[in-house]
Structure 1
Amino acid sequence: MQENLRERILKQLRSEIISGESPPGTLYSVPALSAELNVSTTPVREALLELANTGLVEPVRNRGFRVSRPTKKQLHDLFDMRDLLELQAAKLMMDNASCDTEMLREYAREIEQAVNDDDVRAYLIADRSFHDALFAASGNELLAQTALAFRDRMRLFGIRSGAGIDRQRESVEEHYRIIDLIEAGEKDELLKLLHYHIRSWEPIFAAALEKDALRHRKKRTLES
């Protein structure tokens, strides 16, 4: 029961951070968040410590945890690692021929519905489930866990911008195409599509991150 509560809080906070609802610099106080969620401090602290281990937040002495502000280089490195790991997982999946495409289609429909409803949080949950299923189908548990961990560290700056919304809409058909290529056994085409599926988000996130960094620099200048 306690573990389930921690997981629920972890998922909520992770979603808030990676979707930009809690922007860089946001401070999470364990007592305040516990009171807001009407839970004890233990699962809240455990969830924030796990987020700190992934680099999404950083501890602030006697105050709580602050949402971290990644650099453009860190963002690029994350994309490199995702590209490497997710394509390797796809290669293994195709070699194993063990992917449950019916489950993927259900997630793809959830992604489509979330985009139609303009529900970014639902989109993120369904998209994470879709790709987690792909990783699991690789048959390499450590690779699957690592690939998912890198996805969970990705900050989706600009996902609500015009370019971000357009990219969400574009990705709907890509998820269905991924399934079709798996079923057809088209390994090379699948890898090409997954590479595009991952890297096409990078310029959107990078532009929004730079915009946020500029605002942060201006704010610090005014405060100094």
Structure 2
Amino acid sequence: MPAQRTSAPALPTLGGQKRNYRERVADALRAALIAGELRPGEVYSAPTLAARFGVSATPVREAMLDLVKEGLVDTVPNKGFRVTAVSDKQLDEYTHIRSLIEIPTTAGLATTADPVALEALRPAAEETVTAAAAGDLIAHVEADTRFHLGLLALAGNEHLVEVVRDLRKRSRLYGLQALVEAGRLEDSAQEHLEILDALAARDEEAVRAIMTRHLGHVRGLWAARRPAG
């Protein structure tokens, strides 16, 4: 049975570049938020999050201010930051828009994408599987984001990529831990490799079918709210 994740991983120092490090912390915080490890309505202090992620409080505080600008958290004076709530209707709308964009765009890559560029995305796809097997939700979400945005980038429309990036940041996948416990998250992650294989085979219909199934899981993931207590 996959190991259950008990704490967030320490973040590596990125060449001493403050801006890059701040962005790396912000990415990890977004992933924790998307994965449901940071819960709506809860207030988190920068020192508490810093201890959890194995970093100092300053980059966490700076990164959380970035998330405030994005509308993902609110500041709570003298306490920290509160994760903003997202309604079921909003989450449904985000998923619907993603499907309208990602399914036809990815399917279209079967006839246009450079095979070398597709193969360059395989490490990210494999990382989602590895993270899923380890029960590392944050690493899974980060690799999943890189994979899907990397695919969309091959279509050559930067605005489209930014739209989906924003939708993904606002999503909540509350059911990820339940999938880990059921041993099913790894199966879902394997679909990334199926997508690449279908694209490499230039099988547009297969890509469309896999993407439809894959994004169909998202609705169930955010809807799988654990009962209180």
TM range (shorter): 0.7 to 0.9
Letter aligned with residue 26 of structure 1 = E
Deviation track 1:58-111 (CA, whole Å, cap 9, x = no partner) reads 233554420112111111111111112212431453453235222222222222
Give ranges in structure 1 of 5+ residues lacking alignment: 217-224
1:98-152: CA deviations, max 9, x gaps? 3522222222222222222222222222212211210111111111121122112
| More off after superposition, 126-135 vs 24-33 | 24-33
Question: What is the 5 A alignment of 1:184-203?
Answer: 184-203=201-220
CA contact (8 A) 2:47 2:57 kept: no
How far the C-alpha of 1:20 sits from its partner, in A, is 2.1
Q: 2: distance between equivalents of 1:75 and 1:58?
A: 19
CA distance in 2, matches of 1:115, 1:145: 25
Does the C-alpha gap of structure 1 residues 105 and 45 become closer, same or farther in structure 2, counting only changes over 3 Å? same
The residue type equivalent to 2:70 in the other structure is: T
Alignment pair present for 1:89 and 2:105: yes
- Does residue 108 (structure 1) correspond to residue 125 (structure 2)? The answer is yes
Q: Which residue number corresponds to residue 224 of structure 2?
A: 207
Q: Which of 63, 68, 76 is the equivalent residue of 2:92?
A: 76
The structure with the greater share of residues assigned to helix is: 1
Is residue 2:140 matched to residue 1:140? Answer: no
* Residue 165 (structure 1) shift: 4.7
SS in 2 for 1:59: strand
Instruction: State the SS of the aligned residue for 1:201.
Output: helix
Identity %: 34
Cα deviation, 1:39-75, whole Å, max 9, x if unaligned, reads 53xx544422332343321233554420112111111
Report the RMSD for the aligned CA atoms in angstroms: 2.7
Residue 49 of structure 1 pairs with residue 70 of structure 2: no
Q: Distance in 2 between matches of 1:66 and 1:72?
A: 19
Distance 1:34 1:180 in 2: 39
C-alpha displacement of 1:158: 1.8
Tell whether 2:37 aligns with 1:21.
yes
Match of 1:121 among 129, 138, 147: 138
Distance in structure 1 (CA, Å) of the matches to 2:135 and 2:79: 35
Q: Structure 2 unaligned runs (5+)?
A: 1-16
The 3-state SS of whatever aligns with 1:22 is coil
Q: Cα 1:113–1:34, aligned 2, differ >3 Å: closer, same or farther? A: closer
Displacement after TM superposition at 1:186 (Å):
1.4
SS at match of 2:152: helix
SS in 1 for 2:160: helix
Larger Rg: 1
Partner residue of 1:9 out of 25, 31, 40: 25
- Counterpart Cα distance in 2 of 1:82 and 1:167: 23
Provide the secondary structure at the position in 1 that maps to 2:177.
coil
For the residue of structure 1 that corresponds to 2:120, the secondary structure is helix
Report the CA distance shift for 1:177/1:37 in structure 2 as closer, same or farther (over 3 A).
Answer: closer
> Alpha-carbon deviation of 1:33?
5.6
Q: TM-score, normalised on structure 2? A: 0.78
Secondary structure of the 1:160 match is: helix
